[in-house]
Amino acid sequence: MKSQKETIRKILVYIRHYWWLILGSLFCAAVSVVFTLYLPILTGYAVDVMIERGRVDFVVLKELLIKMAVIILITGAAQWLMNVANNRITYLVVRDIRRDAFHKLQKLPLKYLDVHPSGDLVSRIIADVDQFADGLLMGFTQAFTGILTILGTLIFMLRMNVWITLVVVLVTPLSFFVAAFIAKKTHVMFQRQSEARGEQTGLIDEMIGNQQVVQAYGHEKKALQRFDEVNKRLEGYSLRATFFSSITNPATRFVNNLVYAGVGISGAFFAIHGRLSVGTLSCFLSYANQYTKPFNEISGVITELQNAVTCAGRVFELMEEQEEIEDAVTGGKIENATGAMEIEHVDFSYVPEKPLIQDLNLSVKPGQRVAIVGPTGCGKTTIINLIMRFYDVNRGAIKMDGKDIRSLSRENLRSQYGMVLQETWLKDGTVLENILFGRKDAAREEAIEAAKLSHAHSFIKRLPQGYDTIVKENGENLSQGQRQLLSITRVILCKPSILILDEATSSIDTRTEMQIQSAFQKLMEGRTSFIVAHRLSTIQSADIILVMKDGQIIEQGSHKELLAKKGFYANLYMSQFAG
Amino acid sequence: MVAAILELLFDDCFLTVPDEKRIGNKNMKRLLVYMKGYEKECILGPLFKLLEAGFDLTVPVVTAAIIDYGIANRDRDYIIRYGGMLVLLAIVGLACSITAQYFAAKAAVGFAARLRHALFAHVESLSFAEIDQVGTSTLITRMTSDINQVQSGVNMALRLFLRSPFIVFGAMVCAFFYDVKAALVFVVVIPLLALVIFGIMGVSMPLYKKVQGALDKVLGSTRENLTGVRVIRAFHREKEEEEEFCAENDFLAKSQLFVGKISALTNPVTYVMINLALVALLWIGGVRIDAGTLSQGQIIALINYLSQILVELVKLANTIVLSNKALACANRIESVMEIQSSLEISMEREDGLQEEGGKGQVVFDNVSMRYQGALEPSLEGVTFTAEKGQTIGIIGGTGSGKSTLVHLIPRFYDVSEGCVKVDGKDVRSYGLEELRSKIGIVMQKAVLFKGTIRDNLLWGNENASEEELREALELSQSMEFVEKKENGIQSFVEQGGRNLSGGQRQRLTIARALVRKPEILIFDDSTSALDYATDAKLRSGLKSLSYSPTIFMVSQRTSSIRHADQIIVLEDGEVIGIGKHDELLKNCQVYKEIHQSQYQDEKERKEA
């Protein structure tokens, strides 16, 4: 509850910017509700001046009708302004929230992003915010006008006749009971329906998703049998859920009709005694006709609003996650790093309970090639994460050119590196835009020069629009190797001091790799480089090979030295070529 | 009355946009086959709905009578009698409408269930070529959310499509009974209202589509930003990303506001129109009452009809929006149903033909294969013969056509030219089941299904004995980890085999293929997840199989296939080398390169 209040407070902070729109919207809503309710009264007056043949007061009628016309036009205008204002508030608030949420994403540490599935984060920023917008819009348009309508109707009715009002007020709650009763009953059925649906979707997912295997093993008939079994159950649950929930409308309409009949009968009796005019009765009847509607709608709005608050809560939760520690630039700026790196007594773990790297020490001289090998999960990529400062060390320090990397701005630090990862991420955009990603000020000629160096130029040339070919999001128009060449080109253009290759070629076949290899060789010339690889053949020319196991560096040395040592590395190496 | 209109108009149904505008009656017709057996419900549902609507139209008549006779004559009995009639109408109306809801629900749900069954069965019959083209996720959406949409569309259409027009015209007809001149107001205002409601809908719907497009862009940017977070941060491009996002986000808000302004017109304009009609009605009513051709009660009834009309027109507009959406879904489903399996075109059965070369022989005769929509063929002019019991290695770079080649044997795809023969007969002349029962295939992606390990193995052969299952587990090197499990072979495998490691999954899929004791055994690059020692044990085990299957081994590693009887080297879909390891090393440049890229240091190691 408290967190809900907290969420509402945060929503209000966003809405506050648009206070003048809200005031305007509320004012228009009030005008439109009051006039809307006033109209039946005027209609009643009009009916009252037309009694029977020869007894119609045309002077008064004309006056009334002109008044009505004016009121109608004002109401229409007020309604439109209110709608426009509500749209504005909603969509602008949503825009602001999305903008801030996205900004937040840029600030979140990888510690957070790595463990939260990106689908979940996307759904918070898109789907949840959308849901929130729907709720907010509905809340604005319906909740306020609904409450106002109920109160206004009550006041207008009480002024006309207390007893008939009482009839209305007494019968109306029936419809809530009916609606609540049905909702409660159907809830269980909806739950069963969605369970069965879930089960069925799972089955579809499994069978259709792996149709190759299903067909290869001739399992189609069996799959269909299982499908039918679930389908039958789903049909049963679905029928009950659909039917019972669809009773709500007729049932509340029924209660409404009862109210109508009650008003008709009691009004008629009052009319007989001359205590109510026929026009007033007609006014009552039209009130009775719709008195329950705002109630039903408000209950709908409440669920919707609750939903909206929950969704907003999920977005705000994201927006309040701890951000990366601000840059504390105490070490000045490195213009062009020499490439010397020191790792001193570093401890690090992703989760406190599972220590990973302990007391890691390493000294890299400018221009050296450092290769990191070891079995999966031993912490190879973790070292990259640390030197890039995607994560901060728990203890010890990492130094670049003698400066603790935490004393540099992240931008300054990272601009010294050029990084190529196994996952070749390219942006939606042209080939050229992707190459210029790291240095957007570079000229087209420079990009082409870099592409020639990386051997990417020859395939780019052959693309339909050359350097202006659009790279599709999932990269279907480029092969894995081509994508990798583009990310290498991207790095070449930046002319970084230090190179980081994290499994950069492991998803490419070995022959293509050999071709890319020469691009790498050129890239590495004169640069300090860190190479993570599982294929040992790619790292033999390194100056230092770090052999990692369980977060520790267990062996260190050149390829020849390590082989001579006949230790873990030698074993690893031999096993690859045994037989 | 007017407030009711107001409330209804706030309904946010206008915010929903159908994905496709065209209303494909032709397509829907084919799906209607699945409605068979529910004719009764389809007629009774709307019929009861119409009955209820009839009662709704009677209410103003009764009210008018109460006013004109009951009140005018101070007749208490009359008032009570007619008041009672109002209650009765309410009760009967309730009964009718619940009946209608039941029939509608039954027909809609039943229809959806049948459609789902038919669609599932249909999709299962499609070949890989079609599934590749449509995409698995699309098929799943068709089968789940699209059918759900259609279900609610059918449900709603059965209830509302007749009712709303009926009330609109019924009210107009009733108005004519009371007074022809007053009824003219109806005649004028109904088409005008319809014009406004549908006009605004028509203008705003395509705009909503644009809004959806803008939202997709915002979504795309967010996703891209998250998946590329490391690269973006490494190149410190956060600010630019943010600027880009803000531009898209602003554009989204702008388009939402624009279309919002237009659709916000619906309520006020219809409100103004219907109430100006009311003003006109009151004026004409005054004149007619003065002339003595209309009574007070009747004018009240007319006012009542007027308000009913607006309510129903709005409902109708919403119904149309929703059914449009449902129709779009139905069309999409229909287009899946229309896909014919390309494999259905079988050749004449060649039962009479002698099986040459014995069981397990596979012949590729000048085979070419081009995927649908692809510019270049994936295989071209492939010719070779695999004799029974031989091991065929297939090697080449990514995209060279290795998988395509082996997928032609169980006829996952059809050749574009030439033919593939198994046991001397064209694969297209077999029944699919008959052909595939000869083959055991281990896919690149190790897929297991929810159930026990045993259940999964039985996919290979339902009638396999425990002994045979054990053998398969042993041979596939799975026994050691299966035995370690608490329930052994009865251990539960979660969906997709999540609770097993990649290597374990792979070994079980191999076991599954072995349980089948197939004539032809295919490994589609499926041993790369195995470490070298396991791979070697597996290969030597395969050699000792008593039924000596023909083995196809697709691999990227020369070490996995170097002992094969024949090695086929593929590049860009063409065979550029065929022979034994040593031969290829001598006369096939590409093979030599592949080998060297993996063994460039083997010599070095030997020297060391």
Domains of chain A plus CATH, in order, are: 1-151+297-324 (1.20.1560.10), 326-416+533-579 (3.40.50.300)
Indicate if the pLDDT at residue B357 is higher than 60.
no
The dihedrals phi and psi of B63, each to the nearest 5 degrees, come to -60, -45
Measured between CB atoms, which of A223, A251, A510 is closest to B598? A510
Same structural domain for residues B464 and B605? no
| Phi/psi at B243 (5° precision) | -60, -45
Any domain includes B225: no
Residue B9 — very low, low, confident or very high, per pLDDT cuts 50/70/90? very low
Residues from chain A contacting residue B225 (CB–CB below 8 Å): 102, 105-106
Report the CATH number at residue B160: 1.20.1560.10
Subunit contact B66:A264, Cβ cutoff 8 A: yes
Q: Does A116 touch chain B (CB under 8 A)?
A: no
**The predicted structure's pLDDT at residue A376:** 65
Asked if the Cβ–Cβ distance from B143 to A76 is below 8 Å, we say no
CATH number of the domain where residue B460 is located? 3.40.50.300
What is the domain count for chain B?
Answer: 3
Give the residue among A471, A105, A101 at the shortest CA–CA distance from B227: A105
pLDDT tens for each residue of B294-343: 999 999 999 999 988 888 888 888 888 788 888 888 988 998 898 887 77
Residues of chain A positioned with their CB less than 8 A from the CB of B556: 509-510
Q: How far apart are CA B448 and CA B237, in angstroms?
A: 42
The boundaries of the domain holding residue B601 are: 357-438+519-529+547-608
- Residue B42: its pLDDT value, please? 92
Q: List the single residue in B4, B105, B242 with the smallest CB-CB distance to A243.
A: B105
**Is residue B528 predicted with pLDDT exceeding 80?**
no
Which chain B residues contact residue A106 at CB under 8 A? 225, 238, 241-242
What is the tens place of the pLDDT at every residue in A164-220? 999 888 888 888 788 888 888 888 888 899 899 889 988 998 888 888 888 888 888
Q: Which whole number is the average pLDDT over B426-435?
A: 87
Collapse the DSSP code of A530 into the 3-class scheme (helix H, G, I; strand E, B; otherwise coil) and give the result: strand
* pLDDT value for B344: 59
Same domain, B511 and B551: no
> Does residue B250 sit within a domain?
no
| pLDDT score, position A54 | 87
Looking at residue B602, what is its pLDDT? 52
A265 vs B229: CB contact, 8 Å cut-off?
Answer: no
Q: Among A59-68, A440-449, B357-366, B514-523, where is mean pLDDT lowest?
A: B357-366
pLDDT band at B5 (very low <50, low <70, confident <90, very high): very low
Both B8 and B133 in a single domain?
Answer: yes
Q: B2 and A39 in contact by Cβ < 8 A? A: yes
B559 and A257 within 8 Å at the Cβ level: the answer is no
Residues B425 and B405 in one domain: yes
Shortest Cα distance, chain B CAs vs residue A9, angstroms = 23
Which is nearest to B249 in space by CA: A301, A242, A100, A366? Answer: A100
What is the side-by-side strand order in the sheet with B362-369? B425-426, B417-422, B362-369, B379-386, B574-579, B566-571, B391-396, B550-555, B520-524, B439-442
Nearest Cα of chain A lies from the Cα of B222 at a distance, in angstroms, of 6
Claim to verify: residue B416 and residue B363 sit in the same structural domain: yes
Does residue B202 sit within a domain? no
Q: How far is A92 from chain B (nearest CA, A)?
A: 7
Statement to judge: residues B596 and B452 lie in one domain: no
Question: Which residues of chain A have a CB within 8 Å of the CB of B285?
Answer: 50
DSSP A19-42: HHHHHHHHHHHHHHHHHHHHHHHH
- Answer yes or no: do A537 and B598 touch at CB < 8 A: yes
Asked if the model's pLDDT at residue B493 lies above 80, the reply is: yes
Does B590 map to a domain?
Answer: yes
Is the Cβ of B566 closer than 8 Å to some Cβ of chain A?
no
Is residue B123 within 8 A of residue B137, CB to CB? The reply is no
- Residue ranges, chain A, pLDDT below 50: 578-579
Element housing B49 (H / E): helix B39-65
Query: pLDDT-derived band of residue B7, with 50, 70 and 90 as boundaries?
Result: very low
In this structure, are B91 and B152 located in the same domain? yes
* B366 confidence band (pLDDT: 50, 70, 90): very high
Residue A572: which H helix or E strand, with range?
Answer: helix A568-576
pLDDT at B223: 87
Instruction: Say if the Cβ atoms of A281 and B67 lie within 8 Å.
Output: yes
Per-residue pLDDT at B99? 95
Examine the domain organization and report whether B420 and B450 are in the same domain.
no
What would the pLDDT profile of A110-135 be if each residue is shown by its tens digit?
Answer: 989 888 888 888 888 988 898 898 88
- Residue B243, min C-alpha distance to chain A (Å): 10
The number of beta carbons lying within 10 Å of the beta carbon of residue B431 is 10
Q: Give the chain A residue whose CA is nearest to the CA of B265.
A: A80
> How confident is the model at residue B13, as a pLDDT?
34
Contact A106 B230 (CB under 8 A): no
**Per-residue confidence (pLDDT) for residue A438, from 0 to 100:** 83
Query: What gap in Å lies between CA B581 and CA B592, rounded to an integer?
Result: 10
In this predicted structure, what is the pLDDT of residue B16? 34
Question: For the residues of B97-131, what is the DSSP string, one character each?
Answer: HHHHHHHHHHHHHHHHHHHHHHHHHHHHH--HHHH
Whether residues B382 and B410 share a domain: the answer is yes
Structural domain contains residue B270: no
B167, B55: one domain: yes
ipTM of the complex: 0.85
Q: Measured between beta carbons, which residues in chain B are less than 8 angstroms from residue A91? A: 253, 256-257, 260
What's the rounded Cα separation, in Å, for the pair A435 and A493? 7
B145/B32 same-domain check: yes
Residue B352 pLDDT: 46
Q: Which of A251, A560, A579 is facing B536, going by the closest CB pair?
A: A579
Report the alpha-carbon distance of residue A395 to residue A347 in Å, rounded: 5
Contact B290 A50 (CB under 8 A): yes
Of the residues A18, A64, A92, A95, the best mutation for testing chain B's interface (the one with the most B CB atoms within 10 Å of its CB) is: A95
Say what the pLDDT of residue B263 is. 86
- With contact defined as beta carbons under 8 Å apart, do B500 and B450 qualify? no
Task: Determine, for residues A264 and B6 on separate chains, whether the beta-carbon distance falls below 8 Å.
Answer: no
- A positions 313-372 inside 8 Å of B (CB): none
Q: How confident is the model at residue B100 (pLDDT cuts 50, 70, 90)?
A: very high
| Angle, in degrees to the nearest 10, between helices A278-290 and A19-48 | 140
Query: How many contacts does A have with B, using Cβ atoms within 8 A?
Result: 441
In a domain, B172, yes or no: yes
- Asked if pLDDT for residue B206 goes beyond 80, the answer is yes
Cα B430 to chain centroid, rounded: 31
| Residue B603 confidence (pLDDT) above 90 | no
When pLDDT is cut at 50, 70 and 90, the band that residue B347 belongs to is low
Percentage of residues of chain B with pLDDT beyond 90: 45
pLDDT at B4: 37
Cβ neighbours around B451 below 10 Å, total: 15
B431-437 average pLDDT score: 87
Asked if residue B428 and residue B559 are part of one domain, the reply reads yes
Q: Using alpha carbons, select from B65, B283, B303 the residue that is nearest to residue B175.
A: B303
A110, A200, A208 member nearest B136 (Cβ): A208
In a domain, B206, yes or no: no
Across the interface, which of B67, B233, B598 has its CB nearest the CB of A278?
B67
**Under an 8 A CB cutoff, do B242 and A102 touch?**
yes
Residue B345: which pLDDT band, with cuts at 50, 70 and 90? low
pLDDT of residue B350: 52
Give me the residues of B, 391-430, that contact A with CB < 8 A: 397-399, 410, 412
- Residue B83: which pLDDT band, with cuts at 50, 70 and 90? very high
Nearest CA in chain A to B124: A220
Tokens of B121: 């069965």
- CB contact (8 A) between residue A137 and residue B106: no
A-proximal residues of B, 6-65, CB under 8 Å: 6-8, 10, 12, 15, 52, 59, 63
Residues from chain A contacting residue B525 (CB–CB below 8 Å): none
- Inter-chain CB proximity B97 and A113 less than 8 Å: no
Mind giving me the DSSP string for A327-362?
Answer: P---S---SS----EEEEEEEE-SSTTS--EEEEEE
Exposed/middle/buried for residue B409 (C-beta within 10 Å: 0-12, 13-18, 19+): buried
Determine the distance in angstroms separating the CA of B280 from the nearest CA of chain A, rounded to an integer. Answer: 8
Quick check: is B259 in a domain? no
B residues 154-173 closer than 8 Å to A (CB): 155, 159
Residue with the bigger pLDDT between B443 and A140: it is B443
